[in-house]
A and B are shown apart, each in its own frame.
Chain A
């Protein structure tokens, strides 16, 4: 009893001390003199309530963990809910979902469509990283590097060679894949933790390179005025950008509205995401997808059967990178402006969080997690300064309650059919 009380008190004390340093004191500059002062009273009260909560949670830990154990399940992959178990049900469901997503931009506000487009970019990034982390089991902390390669590929090709988005898109994907291949070639021989560190370094190197190679990339100022994609040559600007170009509204004889552009971008992102989902669905049913899983389970057995682990991992790395490249070039086109600041480590962390949160290897899980990770912060704008804190809290809670992720992968098994 005694130790239970004292350990709970200790936990509450640590919370108070750490919390006070983060929230309890505020730093301000009066004239030239920096001063520290105690924050407003509501923050202090909040802190005390928080510490009280920690105390109670720790004190009744045994009781609490009984409840959480139930939510955790058996740690294994869970069955999908009953209405989406068979292939046919899934197909019907997917059909309706896609239909709803297609209708969505015509029924909602411009702002909502814009956020949805951003979400779709993260879905694509999450799906791509999922190939590397979830399917092949390689911890890649520098995924944002490939995203940057894709974005700058389009921006630079357009800037120097006047290349259109549609021409640049495959090149951007290809270049990102090439970077993935070149990085993976020496690095994939390393064991897990080393791989994580090298990829982390790679992401930073790319960003620093973009920042410092001012003549080529514009450095920290970035590249502006990147043109939006066109619909078979039709532009979404108010006026044609150059002699001889046609705009969308002129072509169809309707009046100009900036909403067309937003909706078009959304639909394009949706198309890219659907393509990504299809490609990955195929991949896991192909020899390379089987090899990824086998490699995750037992790489020694794989070697003994003539599978070359480095090549198979390299495949995952390259394919994953190419998705980041596609997403990157779309991102550049949508923003119209990119700078190295968009490609910091925190982006890699968010994408990785999407994969872990969704449930490694699970496509549906990643889609849901990407939505949660982009829409929730938008809805909770007033908590902006504590976003990272909430983010951390969410991860910790996930690790306690559902370490396997929201919707862990239930891999499709290939069946032997007998006549």
Chain B
């Protein structure tokens, strides 16, 4: 069985700073894989390289058997690999539902003439986008907020909206950058359930950066630890928790 995502020897250099050095990652179908490590370890940089926001200095990023390195971010997203951001990036002045409509741009009707004359084709397509948006709003519990401005939502709701916005693009791999940061324990529990639901019911894989060890250890199939840009260890949650080096470098600090 081939992996969904295989990252090999990923290296990213910013001038004199080696932010990521030789990181490997493997994500299979229907898996939850986590990347952990202290702040500044280079986790977000790995995400940026994989999702095409940076062009890595070296290494390869294979997604569904295709090389992604050097492709622009929007192409990679179109291939079915979408991400959230450590600092939420919503379209704040647009409504919740509009955020989800924009996200479905690649599924939308692009024929301008059909749009001008509002053909039944066009209306049907738009309705499909609406329906898919409503479906996901319900899943993340935001249906009642559909017509609110996204910027006016509470922080936890914004985080969930960002996940819904990724899901309406119908990805195969969802990459979440610290989705639990700033959430209260209840919200974290909901997030936990949502991620498991995405894997079990929607059949997608999730690549997760997270500091909340309870969450990570509870749901991950595989965990990668990075420290100062270098891969430190990888394995199942049980293996990671028993790894003396990890404990020393990372868990031990807490």
Determine whether the beta carbon of B130 is less than 8 Å from that of A291.
no
B65: Cβ under 8 A from any A Cβ: no
Once the chains bind, are A413 and B95 in contact (CB under 8 Å)? yes
**Residues of chain B within 8 A of A307, CB atoms compared:** 74, 102, 105-106
Give the residues in chain B near A243, CB-CB below 8 Å. none
B29 at the interface (CB under 8 A from A): no
The number of residues on chain B lying at the interface, defined by a beta carbon within 8 Å of a beta carbon of chain A, is 43
User: Which residues of A are interface residues toward B (Cβ below 8 A)?
Assistant: 279, 282-283, 286-288, 290-291, 293-294, 297-298, 300-309, 413-416, 418
Residues of B within 8 A of A294 (CB): 91, 94, 102
- Can you offer 20 A-B residue contacts whose CB atoms are under 8 A? A282-B118, A288-B112, A290-B94, A290-B98, A290-B105, A294-B94, A294-B102, A297-B91, A297-B92, A300-B85, A300-B89, A301-B91, A302-B74, A303-B52, A303-B72, A305-B102, A305-B103, A414-B97, A415-B147, A418-B143
0 or 1 for each of B202-237: is its CB under 8 Å from A? (1 = yes): 000000000000000000000000000000000000
Please, how many angstroms separate the alpha-carbon atoms of A297 and B137 in the complex?
22
Q: What is the interface of chain B, defined by CB distance below 8 A to chain A? A: 51-53, 72-75, 77-78, 82-83, 85, 89-95, 97-98, 101-103, 105-106, 108-110, 112, 115-116, 118, 130, 133-134, 137, 143, 146-147, 165-166, 169
* Given A282-B115, A416-B133, A306 contacting B91 (CB threshold 8 A): no
Are A298 and B134 closer than 8 Å at their CB atoms? no
What residues of B have a CB within 8 angstroms of the CB of A297 in the complex? Answer: 91-94
Instruction: Find A416's partner among B78, B112, B146, B169 (CB 8 Å cutoff).
Output: B146
Report A-chain residues with C-beta under 8 Å of the C-beta of B77: 303-306
Chain B neighbourhood of A298, CB < 8 A: 89-91
Chain A residues in 8 Å Cβ range of B52: 303
- Closest Cβ of chain A to B67, distance in Å, is 18
B78 A306 Cβ-Cβ under 8 A = yes
Give the residue of B53, B92, B98, B118 whose beta carbon is less than 8 angstroms from that of A413.
B98
Task: For A302, list chain B residues within 8 Å (CB).
Answer: 74, 102
Q: Closest A-chain residue to B73, C-beta based? A: A303
A416 touches B72 (CB 8 A): no
Q: Report the separation of the CA atoms of residues A309 and B74 in the bound assembly, to the nearest whole angstrom.
A: 8
| Chain B residues, CB < 8 A from A414 | 95, 97-98, 101
CA distance A301 to B85 in the complex (A): 9
Bound together, the chains give a CA A283 to CA B111 distance in angstroms of 11
State the CA gap A293–B95 with chains docked (Å).
12
Question: CA separation between A407 and B110, bound complex, in Å?
Answer: 30
Assess whether A291 is in contact with B116, with CB atoms less than 8 Å apart.
no
The one of A282, A293, A415 in contact with B97, judged by C-beta atoms closer than 8 angstroms, is: A415
Determine if B147 and A416 form an interchain contact, defined as CB atoms under 8 angstroms apart. yes
Q: A414-B97, A416-B147 are in contact. Are A305 and B166 (CB under 8 A)?
A: yes
